[in-house]
Amino acid sequence: MTSTRLKDKVCIVTGSAQGIGLATALKFANEGASIAVWDLTQAGIDEAVRQCREAGAQAEGYVVDVTQREMVDAAVLRVKERFGRIDVLVNNAGITKDARLQKMTIEQFDRVIDVNLRGVFHCAQAVSHTMVEQGHGVILNASSVVGLYGNFGQTNYAATKFGVLGFTKTWSRELGPKGVRVNAVAPGFIKTHILDSIPDKVLEDMKHRVPLHRLGTPEEIANVYCFLASDEASYVNGAVIEVSGGMTV
């Protein structure tokens, strides 16, 4: 029997045409939620929407570049018009453009800041008004273990993921009294397309840094997002949940 932990909740998942975002959209769909798929490519969005509907959910797709505030505001309005409200935002969209400090270009730095930090701000601010008016809502932000401990060659990415934790702590204080919970998830090494270009030997080394001796799956991150989005997490606010197989122990 299909679980209904998110029954009747309207959920926006950014960057949900692939990877952790897609796994989260599908998990939410299977738990009874209505899904708004946000991403950059129409083909990817259409396929994600198809899979969500196949799981029995109401789902709509929207082409949204989270760095463009006008697109974000327009998509929020369309989601409200289609579904009547917004219960959950998963700020999943993010990119990497790695380089060591001495070699990182200004363009690499700015692009990652723009998507991973400014984009999270745009989306959260855009939905916050609706959630406060409703008197309830959940904002979930994608951080990373890199946002807890840093990582070689990821000055820009680490800055954004540390920054997202600052957002989470601040917004949980500001919005908590208004019925809106804000939490963050910090994944470790997760098997997604981002790892496709990494040599097998490096992947093996990564696995051995994790006590469970394996990479995580997008579904394992989606499970945590689902818990945090559900009423089961009704007293969880301002938290950062590391999902890394114990790699930082």
Q: Cα 8 vs. chain centroid, distance in angstroms?
A: 20
C-alpha to C-alpha distance for 102 and 196, rounded to whole angstroms: 25
Q: How far apart are the first and last CA of the chain?
A: 37
State yes or no: is 225 an active-site residue. Answer: no
| Packed helices 119-134 and 69-83: angle between N→C axes, nearest 10 degrees | 30
* The CA-based dihedral angle spanning residues 144, 8, 67, 195, taken in that order and rounded to the nearest 10 degrees: 40
Q: Which of 32, 39, 31 is closest to 13 using CA atoms?
A: 39
The catalytically annotated residue of 62, 157, 225, 235 is 157
Residues annotated as part of the active site:
157
